[in-house]
Amino acid sequence: MSLAPPLDVSRPRLVPLPLIIAAFCVLWSFAFVAGKVAVTDCPPLILLAARFSLAGILILGFSLLRGEAWTLSWRDVAVCAVLGIANNALYLGLGYTGLQNTSAGLGGLIVSSNPVFTAVLAALLLNEPLTWRKVAGLLLGIVGVGFIVSHRMAIGTDSLRGILFTFAALASIVSGTILFKLLAPKGSLWIGNGIQNIAGGLVLIPFAATLANVGDIVPSARLFWAFGFLVLGGSIFAYFLWFHLLHVCGASAASAWHFVMPPLAMLFAWIVLGEHLDARDLLGIIPVALGIYLVTRPAAGPVTAVKTAPAE
């Protein structure tokens, strides 16, 4: 399948790829903890409608102030809006609703399984090669994540309702990942992220107005810092890095880094929230790390034969 020219990502390439990956993993995994803190004091639909709207305004406002040219066609704007509904409104709307009844660690754990479904769909729809090494890596990731899940479920602290909402969020982010690579919007990645946030906020505002109660908001310092992190660290920087990785690594390899989110999310949840953590949880890191290595390791042979991202 021939993909359209990619979004403009020349500036992030000034930073070494390992640093981009590390920053993405830390920001994305800590967002589960910040989200758990925030939904404790604010209804999730109100929280997300405000988060996306503010993030979109900040991104587009900054772009206007620095005089960045608008290069997106109406088709690109429509694609970014669709991605905003899938990756922002649906993924986090469902995920944060689930966080009301699940731990931050388990929420991160379920969503981290998206590389399995992404790799299969990418092979079917994007012609990304599904080699034996990728299959082995994905299976190891499943084993590691499943090991941790079984132990956490045995504790009995997470409800079925929350888990179902989180799996629905998983389906949304897998769909958004494939759509990004399949539809391949052109133009500025930064402005595209702003449009996605605005679209996510606009979609959620009617639901927040009808299904949530402003009186349930509990103003607090922890809500303030959690909201600030979710806007700046989550909606702006983490998503910017995520779409950059999708472009330079391919859908399967970029999604494989989600396998590192469970141990990081659990570690952050233990440090910040005091959530349960023991050695059996941490044992799952071993197959997860090996799985990431196998999925993201370049195949042997000529470089032109193994590229999964469109050429510049």
pLDDT in tens, 36-72: 899 999 999 999 999 999 999 999 999 899 888 888 8
Structure confidence by residue, pLDDT tens digits, 12-37: 456 688 888 889 989 988 998 999 89
pLDDT beyond 70 at 131: yes
- What is the percentage of the chain residues whose pLDDT exceeds 90? 30
Mean pLDDT of 268-282: 77
- What is the percentage of the chain residues whose pLDDT exceeds 70? 85
pLDDT at 296: 65
DSSP 14-49: GS-HHHHHHHHHHHHHHHHHHHHHHHHHS-HHHHHH
Residue 98: exposure state from Cβ atoms within 10 A (0-12, 13-18, ≥19)? buried
pTM: 0.75
**261, 101 contact by CB (below 8 A):** no
pLDDT at 281: 67
pLDDT at 249: 80
Name the average pLDDT for the chain: 81
pLDDT beyond 50 at 306: no
pLDDT band at 277 (very low <50, low <70, confident <90, very high): low
**292, 134 contact by CB (below 8 A):** no
| Of 293, 242, 288, 307, residue with least CA distance to 87 | 242
